[in-house]
Amino acid sequence: MNMSRVRFSSEVSTDEDTASHQDNYHVEVYDEAPIVRGSNLRVVQDYNDTFMEEPDILAQYDDFHTIDWVRDRQRDRTRFRRMKRLKHGTIWERIKQANDAWGGWLVVFLVGLSAGLCAGVIDIGSSWMSDLKIGVCPANFWFNKESCCWSDDTAFDGSDDDCKQWKTWGEIFTGDSNSSASLYVLNYIVYVLSSLGFACLAVVLVRWVAPYACGSGIPEIKTILSGFIIRGYLGKMTLMVKSMSMMLAVAAGLSLGKEGPLVHVACCCGNFFSYVFAKYHRNEAKKREVLSAAAAAGVSVAFGAPIGGVLFSLEEVSYYFPMKTLWRSFFCAMIAAFTLKYMNPYGTGNLVMFYVEYDTPWKLFELLPFVFLGAVGGIIGAIFIKGNIWWCRKRKNSRFGAFSIAEVLLVAVVTAFLAFPNPYTRQSSSVLIQNLFRQCGPEDKSELCEYITNNKTINVNDPRYPGAEAGDGVVTAIWQLLLAAAFKLLITIFTFGLKVPAGLFIPSMAIGACIGRVVGIGMERLAFSNPDWLIFSSSCGKSINACVTPGLYAMVGAAAVLGGVTRMTVSLVVIMFELTGGLSYIVPLMVAVMISKWVGDAFIKEGIYDGHIHLNGYPFLDSKEEFTHTTLAADCMRPRKNDPPLTCITQDGNTVGELEQLIEESHFRGFPVIVDQESQRLIGFVLNKDLRIGLKHARIRNEDIVSASKVYFTEHSSLYSSPGQAVHLSLRHILDVSPIQITDKTPMETVVELFRRVGLRQTLVTHNGRLLGIITKKDVLRHIATLANQDPESILFH
């Protein structure tokens, strides 16, 4: 058995068909030795099959490497065709084939299910632990406050202090249930201490068990989805630690949300289940389809917004999003939302988190304050991004970064200490948002709804209700809300980036909701004081008091700040409207988000996630940013001026030993294969790794292959080796005979476009038909960084 006669069989006849008729190229095409057909075909097949039995080795990328989408897509289609042939095979083969066909749906189903379950557990756990800071349910200590009060028949509902079953820690320790200063202080101390404990536990878990569990995870997921490998980032350990420490961090009262991290958790589920199906496990490009769907499921469970989740995945995180994936992502998001709904963690039985229903529609003149809110949101977003990035850079570049545990504890103590006195910061951010979104009802006794009405039995339909004059509560609320917004903005700048899981959807929304509510109250009072102004009288008529709904302003403000921070657009509007169930408020939301993005872009071009991607130097080729420079491929290509020439392999003439030495000595990922050094005509590209494995296998399988054996990459290797010589080895089968080539004059904008759209890992550069150099994704990213006056070496590529 002579392994040297291996060649890639299927292509030969095709080549003959198309090339032979062109007489003018004829001589060149057949400058290799003619083929001898015959009994060696069996050997070829055999060898290829053996080689193909180890697809894992060929498929796997190293950590921190970029994936080659073109190659992975080709591999998937090859796998698909092989599968298809099984249709006429044995029953077992047919089952395998059916499993393969349904695998895509099954895996997203499982991902959706598990994402929903994780979200439910995290919701329940964090709400229980949050309440544990304030008190406990002595009868059923595993109940949170709401469940505890629901289990108590004497209580009217779960709100505030009507509930007898629930005891604050002060009440338990002192046995005293009357409000007193000492009780307040005791509760305060317990609150701060337990916050500290939770925070400590959270950061220790992250620090010692799974360091990847910190942060929101969205920048990293964007990078992974764009075709980068970060091993362990979506691992089982990360999943568990992230879930646990997320509950703890939320319970610690830190100014962070669990919504962003839920995307990371869902992606971990996606990664886990894609291991079950070979077609995803062994193909990084296919795996990213599952991860896109998982990201959609993450947002879906975070906000109960399946459509918004899909759009988020499409707009914000995904890179390669074929239409087939759209439908599967939607399915996945629905299953996740449905699972969560059946778990019913909010106890409302409602998928919608902050359900609102306002009695009065919004008026056209209100677009003006909405535009204002949008501008404010954009400015706040820009302040947040600049502040946060500045602080994170400071932390990264100074010795301060080493004290991550101390930092978390410090922030937790400061947060707890400052948050407790203000009722709007004491309650959890999501409860705050819910309260701010609400419109005042006749039964409402909260401060926000303290309006002066002459008569307590006043009817809701009475035009005097509920506008009227603002009571003391409302006045107090205004400055408390403003303080709360300022405090939250400041503390969130220092919180996002700590070594705990931290999302910023909810904190940003809370900031926006506070400001929005204040603006809303202001508008309400303006309308009440000046009912005869044209804009009010024309739109509101007699019902001047019920004309402005401050809750709607809170909603719009929340969207504006979130838009300013994340720079999301369509997906944000859809998430907001799914979150609130208010289909009729799309226009206000859209106006605010649009203005917010424009204003924000004027100050700082990138959103918080892109900011963190740049900060951490992830190799992310943004598909939204336009490449506007006039450089050419030749400017980006390697080798550069004064570099040694490009390392190429000629199609024949190299020995096994030479190639082994080349692999050993060079740090390149792959080598172009050329006809000969003189003409520099390209015939293909071979990966370093493939070459290494190919040579190793050849040596193992055939003892005749020695260091002096000649290696051929030609289509048809000369069959007969001279008696005295070593046998030949053909490595045609590991040669990528279809590398993408561009000319050196190609504008970089087209090159970037190619890299983005086709998902290249490298492209070869030719000049007048001769190979001139190579451009890898790394080169493109460095080139872009150089043009943007950034340090090209800051990009993380190992």
Q: What string of DSSP letters covers 341-356?
A: HHH-TTSS--S-SS--
**Residues 50 and 43: beta-carbon distance below 8 Å:** no
CA distance 272 to 282: 13
Q: Which helix (H) or strand (E) holds 587?
A: helix 586-603
**Residues 118 and 339: beta-carbon distance below 8 Å:** no
- SS3 (DSSP) at 767: strand
CA distance 381 to 596: 8
**Residues 759 and 227: beta-carbon distance below 8 Å:** yes
Nearer to its own copies, 174 or 631 (CB): 631
Residue 359, amino acid: D
Q: Shortest approach of its own copies to residue 357 CB, angstroms?
A: 12
Nearer to its own copies, 647 or 655 (CB): 647
- Show the tokens assigned to 626: 């336009």
Angle at alpha carbon of residue 344, lines to 162 and 557, rounded to 5°: 75
Closest CA to 487 of 416, 406, 557: 416
Closest CA to 250 of 117, 130, 131: 130
Nearer to its own copies, 542 or 770 (CB): 770
- Show the tokens assigned to 332: 């996945």
Q: How many helices and strands (H and E) does the chain possess?
A: 32, 13
CA distance 548 to 539: 10
Q: Shortest approach of its own copies to residue 567 CB, angstroms?
A: 11
Nearer to its own copies, 217 or 306 (CB): 306
- Show the tokens assigned to 152: 């108590």
Contacts of residue 680, defined as CB under 8 A and 6 or more positions apart, other chains included, come to 648, 674, 770, 771, 772
Contacts 24+ apart (CB under 8 A), 14-21: 15/715
Nearer to its own copies, 495 or 730 (CB): 730
Q: Shortest approach of its own copies to residue 433 CB, angstroms?
A: 19
Q: Cis peptide before 466, with omega less than 30 degrees from 0?
A: yes
Nearer to its own copies, 438 or 567 (CB): 567
Nearer to its own copies, 310 or 478 (CB): 310
The number of CA neighbours under 13 Å toward the Cβ of 39 is: 2
Q: Shortest approach of its own copies to residue 767 CB, angstroms?
A: 6
Task: List b or e across 517-540, with b for residues whose CB sees 16 or more CB atoms inside 10 angstroms.
Answer: bbbbbebbbebbeebeeeebeebb
Q: Shortest approach of its own copies to residue 382 CB, angstroms?
A: 19
**Residues 741 and 765: beta-carbon distance below 8 Å:** yes
Nearer to its own copies, 655 or 743 (CB): 743
Contacts 24+ apart (CB under 8 A), 320-328: 320/69, 320/225, 320/227, 320/285, 320/288, 320/289, 320/292, 320/759, 321/292, 322/289, 324/289, 325/289, 325/292, 325/293, 328/104, 328/105, 328/108, 328/289, 328/293
Nearer to its own copies, 702 or 766 (CB): 766
Q: Shortest approach of its own copies to residue 634 CB, angstroms?
A: 4
Q: Shortest approach of its own copies to residue 611 CB, angstroms?
A: 18
Closest CA to 323 of 312, 338, 334, 310: 310
Q: Shortest approach of its own copies to residue 332 CB, angstroms?
A: 11
**Helical ranges in 177-235 per DSSP H:** 181-208, 218-225
Nearer to its own copies, 648 or 693 (CB): 648
Nearer to its own copies, 18 or 182 (CB): 18
Q: Shortest approach of its own copies to residue 126 CB, angstroms?
A: 26
Q: Shortest approach of its own copies to residue 623 CB, angstroms?
A: 7
Q: Shortest approach of its own copies to residue 562 CB, angstroms?
A: 15
**Helical ranges in 604-683 per DSSP H:** 608-616, 633-636, 656-665
Q: Shortest approach of its own copies to residue 383 CB, angstroms?
A: 23
Nearer to its own copies, 527 or 683 (CB): 683
Three-class HEC string of 100-168: HHHHHHHHHHHHHHHHHHHHHHHHHHHHHHHHHCCEECCCCCCCCHHHHHHHCCCCCCCCCCCCCCCEE
Contacts of residue 196, defined as CB under 8 A and 6 or more positions apart, other chains included, come to 252, 409, 412, 413, 416
Nearer to its own copies, 502 or 633 (CB): 633
Q: Shortest approach of its own copies to residue 311 CB, angstroms?
A: 8
Q: Shortest approach of its own copies to residue 622 CB, angstroms?
A: 10
Q: Shortest approach of its own copies to residue 457 CB, angstroms?
A: 27
Q: Shortest approach of its own copies to residue 10 CB, angstroms?
A: 7
**Residues 673 and 647: beta-carbon distance below 8 Å:** no
Nearer to its own copies, 523 or 683 (CB): 683
Residue 797, amino acid: F
CA distance 8 to 5: 10
Nearer to its own copies, 155 or 648 (CB): 648
Q: Shortest approach of its own copies to residue 37 CB, angstroms?
A: 19
What is the crossing angle of helices 284-303 and 259-274, to 10°? Answer: 140
Q: Shortest approach of its own copies to residue 182 CB, angstroms?
A: 49
- Show the tokens assigned to 28: 């060149």
Nearer to its own copies, 77 or 393 (CB): 77
Partner residues linked to 676 by β-bridges:
none
Nearer to its own copies, 21 or 88 (CB): 21
Nearer to its own copies, 163 or 636 (CB): 636
